[in-house]
Protein backbone atom coordinates (compact mmCIF):
# COMPACT_ATOMS: atom_id res chain seq x y z
CA UNK A 1 0.00 0.00 0.00
CA UNK A 2 2.77 2.42 0.90
CA UNK A 3 4.58 2.22 -2.51
CA UNK A 4 1.26 2.84 -4.29
CA UNK A 5 0.70 6.00 -2.23
CA UNK A 6 4.25 7.11 -2.98
CA UNK A 7 3.75 6.63 -6.74
CA UNK A 8 0.42 8.47 -6.61
CA UNK A 9 2.08 11.35 -4.75
CA UNK A 10 4.89 11.55 -7.30
CA UNK A 11 2.40 11.56 -10.19
CA UNK A 12 0.37 14.33 -8.51
CA UNK A 13 3.52 16.38 -7.82
CA UNK A 14 4.71 16.05 -11.41
CA UNK A 15 1.28 16.98 -12.75
CA UNK A 16 1.16 20.06 -10.52
CA UNK A 17 4.70 21.06 -11.52
CA UNK A 18 3.95 20.65 -15.22
CA UNK A 19 0.78 22.71 -14.85
CA UNK A 20 2.71 25.49 -13.08
CA UNK A 21 5.41 25.48 -15.73
CA UNK A 22 2.87 25.48 -18.57
CA UNK A 23 1.03 28.38 -16.93
CA UNK A 24 4.27 30.34 -16.53
CA UNK A 25 5.29 29.67 -20.13
CA UNK A 26 1.84 30.68 -21.40
CA UNK A 27 1.85 33.85 -19.30
CA UNK A 28 5.27 34.86 -20.58
CA UNK A 29 4.25 34.13 -24.18
CA UNK A 30 1.13 36.30 -23.94
CA UNK A 31 2.98 39.52 -23.26
CA UNK A 32 4.42 41.46 -20.34
CA UNK A 33 3.63 39.93 -17.00
CA UNK A 34 2.84 41.65 -13.75
CA UNK A 35 6.12 40.42 -12.28
CA UNK A 36 8.83 43.02 -11.89
CA UNK A 37 11.61 40.45 -11.69
CA UNK A 38 13.08 38.49 -14.57
CA UNK A 39 13.56 35.51 -12.20
CA UNK A 40 11.05 32.64 -12.52
CA UNK A 41 11.42 31.51 -8.89
CA UNK A 42 13.94 32.08 -6.13
CA UNK A 43 15.55 28.77 -7.12
CA UNK A 44 15.30 28.99 -10.94
CA UNK A 45 15.87 31.78 -13.42
CA UNK A 46 13.55 30.32 -16.08
CA UNK A 47 10.71 27.79 -16.46
CA UNK A 48 13.02 25.70 -18.68
CA UNK A 49 15.65 25.56 -15.92
CA UNK A 50 12.97 24.47 -13.41
CA UNK A 51 11.72 21.76 -15.81
CA UNK A 52 15.27 20.46 -16.45
CA UNK A 53 15.88 20.14 -12.73
CA UNK A 54 12.47 18.58 -12.03
CA UNK A 55 12.97 15.90 -14.68
CA UNK A 56 16.68 15.50 -13.77
CA UNK A 57 17.86 16.49 -17.25
CA UNK A 58 21.53 17.38 -17.09
CA UNK A 59 23.97 18.62 -19.64
CA UNK A 60 26.94 16.42 -20.54
CA UNK A 61 30.01 17.52 -18.59
CA UNK A 62 32.85 18.87 -20.74
CA UNK A 63 36.18 17.93 -19.17
CA UNK A 64 39.18 20.27 -19.55
CA UNK A 65 41.36 17.23 -20.33
CA UNK A 66 39.92 14.01 -21.80
CA UNK A 67 41.01 11.82 -18.87
CA UNK A 68 41.52 8.25 -20.15
CA UNK A 69 40.03 5.96 -17.48
CA UNK A 70 40.45 3.03 -19.85
CA UNK A 71 44.23 3.55 -20.12
CA UNK A 72 44.73 3.88 -16.37
CA UNK A 73 42.63 0.79 -15.58
CA UNK A 74 44.54 -1.18 -18.22
CA UNK A 75 47.75 -0.21 -16.37
CA UNK A 76 46.25 -1.78 -13.20
CA UNK A 77 45.30 1.49 -11.47
CA UNK A 78 42.29 1.06 -9.18
CA UNK A 79 39.61 3.63 -8.37
CA UNK A 80 40.98 4.30 -4.88
CA UNK A 81 44.38 5.30 -6.28
CA UNK A 82 42.89 8.57 -7.53
CA UNK A 83 39.57 8.83 -5.68
CA UNK A 84 41.33 8.68 -2.33
CA UNK A 85 38.49 9.56 0.04
CA UNK A 86 35.98 7.03 -1.32
CA UNK A 87 36.68 4.53 1.48
CA UNK A 88 36.75 7.14 4.23
CA UNK A 89 33.70 9.34 3.86
CA UNK A 90 30.71 10.52 1.90
CA UNK A 91 32.47 11.62 -1.28
CA UNK A 92 34.85 9.83 -3.60
CA UNK A 93 36.69 13.06 -4.27
CA UNK A 94 37.77 14.45 -7.60
CA UNK A 95 41.55 14.01 -7.81
CA UNK A 96 43.71 17.08 -7.36
CA UNK A 97 46.51 17.86 -9.80
CA UNK A 98 48.93 16.85 -7.01
CA UNK A 99 47.41 13.35 -7.08
CA UNK A 100 48.01 13.17 -10.85
CA UNK A 101 51.58 14.32 -10.44
CA UNK A 102 52.40 11.56 -7.93
CA UNK A 103 52.73 9.30 -10.97
CA UNK A 104 53.10 11.75 -13.83
CA UNK A 105 56.07 13.57 -12.41
CA UNK A 106 57.95 10.52 -13.74
CA UNK A 107 55.61 8.59 -16.06
CA UNK A 108 54.78 9.55 -19.68
CA UNK A 109 56.05 13.11 -19.20
CA UNK A 110 56.50 13.58 -22.95
CA UNK A 111 52.81 12.96 -23.81
CA UNK A 112 50.66 16.00 -24.76
CA UNK A 113 47.92 15.29 -22.16
CA UNK A 114 50.49 14.86 -19.41
CA UNK A 115 52.11 18.13 -20.43
CA UNK A 116 48.70 19.79 -19.96
CA UNK A 117 48.40 18.24 -16.49
CA UNK A 118 51.95 19.37 -15.65
CA UNK A 119 51.12 22.93 -16.76
CA UNK A 120 48.23 23.04 -14.23
CA UNK A 121 50.63 21.74 -11.56
CA UNK A 122 53.29 24.33 -12.50
CA UNK A 123 50.70 27.11 -12.07
CA UNK A 124 49.55 25.62 -8.75
CA UNK A 125 45.99 25.38 -10.07
CA UNK A 126 43.76 22.32 -9.81
CA UNK A 127 42.30 20.91 -13.01
CA UNK A 128 38.68 22.14 -13.23
CA UNK A 129 37.13 18.69 -13.62
CA UNK A 130 33.36 18.67 -14.12
CA UNK A 131 31.32 16.38 -11.88
CA UNK A 132 29.77 13.47 -13.81
CA UNK A 133 27.60 11.95 -11.08
CA UNK A 134 25.98 13.45 -8.02
CA UNK A 135 22.61 14.24 -6.53
CA UNK A 136 21.16 17.73 -6.68
CA UNK A 137 20.65 19.55 -3.40
CA UNK A 138 16.90 19.50 -4.06
CA UNK A 139 16.86 15.67 -4.08
CA UNK A 140 17.59 15.74 -0.32
CA UNK A 141 19.74 12.64 -0.70
CA UNK A 142 22.42 11.97 1.89
CA UNK A 143 24.60 9.61 -0.15
CA UNK A 144 27.82 8.23 1.29
CA UNK A 145 30.36 6.15 -0.62
CA UNK A 146 32.04 4.55 2.42
CA UNK A 147 29.15 2.23 3.47
CA UNK A 148 28.75 1.12 -0.14
CA UNK A 149 32.46 0.31 -0.36
CA UNK A 150 32.26 -1.62 2.95
CA UNK A 151 29.25 -3.55 1.55
CA UNK A 152 31.45 -4.47 -1.43
CA UNK A 153 29.26 -2.72 -4.01
CA UNK A 154 31.47 -2.69 -7.10
CA UNK A 155 32.08 0.77 -8.60
CA UNK A 156 30.79 -0.58 -11.96
CA UNK A 157 27.32 -1.04 -10.42
CA UNK A 158 26.80 2.71 -10.09
CA UNK A 159 29.34 4.23 -12.48
CA UNK A 160 29.26 1.86 -15.45
CA UNK A 161 32.17 0.05 -17.03
CA UNK A 162 34.89 2.70 -16.87
CA UNK A 163 37.39 0.13 -18.15
CA UNK A 164 35.72 0.57 -21.53
CA UNK A 165 35.27 4.35 -21.36
CA UNK A 166 37.81 6.94 -22.22
CA UNK A 167 36.27 10.00 -20.59
CA UNK A 168 33.80 9.20 -17.80
CA UNK A 169 30.19 9.39 -18.95
CA UNK A 170 26.93 9.24 -17.02
CA UNK A 171 25.67 5.82 -18.09
CA UNK A 172 23.72 4.89 -14.94
CA UNK A 173 20.63 6.88 -13.97
CA UNK A 174 20.79 7.34 -10.20
CA UNK A 175 17.07 7.63 -9.65
CA UNK A 176 15.10 6.40 -6.66
CA UNK A 177 14.05 3.17 -8.40
CA UNK A 178 17.67 2.28 -9.15
CA UNK A 179 18.69 2.75 -5.50
CA UNK A 180 15.61 1.02 -4.04
CA UNK A 181 16.09 -2.03 -6.30
CA UNK A 182 19.76 -2.31 -5.38
CA UNK A 183 18.95 -2.03 -1.66
CA UNK A 184 16.33 -4.79 -2.06
CA UNK A 185 18.77 -7.08 -3.85
CA UNK A 186 21.47 -6.52 -1.21
CA UNK A 187 19.10 -6.70 1.78
CA UNK A 188 19.87 -3.09 2.78
CA UNK A 189 17.33 -0.82 4.46
CA UNK A 190 14.86 1.04 2.26
CA UNK A 191 13.63 3.21 5.12
CA UNK A 192 13.32 6.82 3.86
CA UNK A 193 15.84 8.14 6.39
CA UNK A 194 18.50 5.72 5.16
CA UNK A 195 19.05 7.96 2.14
CA UNK A 196 17.04 11.14 2.64
CA UNK A 197 17.22 13.99 5.14
Confidence check: pLDDT of 2 > 60 = no
Nearest in space to 168 (alpha carbons), one of 60, 85, 81, 44: 60
Contact assessment for residue 164 and residue 156, using Cβ atoms and an 8 Å cutoff: no
Contact assessment for residue 47 and residue 40, using Cβ atoms and an 8 Å cutoff: yes
pTM score:
0.67
Confidence check: pLDDT of 167 > 70 = yes
Contacts with 145 (C-beta within 8 Å, 6 or more apart), sequence order: 85, 86, 87, 89, 90, 91, 92
* Mean pLDDT, rounded, for 48-54: 83
Q: According to the model, what pLDDT value does residue 76 have?
A: 93
Task: Delimit the domains of the chain by residue range.
Answer: 2-54, 64-94+133-197, 96-128
Contacts with 24 (C-beta within 8 Å, 6 or more apart), sequence order: 40, 47
Backbone angles phi, psi at 141, to 5 degrees: -100, 130
Q: According to the model, what pLDDT value does residue 159 have?
A: 93
Where is pLDDT greater, at 26 or 49? 49
Q: What is the mean pLDDT of the chain?
A: 83
Amino acid sequence: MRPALLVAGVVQARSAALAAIALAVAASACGPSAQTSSVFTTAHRTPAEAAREFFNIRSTPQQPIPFPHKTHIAKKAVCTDCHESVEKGPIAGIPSVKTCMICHDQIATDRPLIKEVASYAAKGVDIPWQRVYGFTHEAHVRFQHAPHVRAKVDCVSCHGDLANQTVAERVVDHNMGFCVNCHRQKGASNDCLTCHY
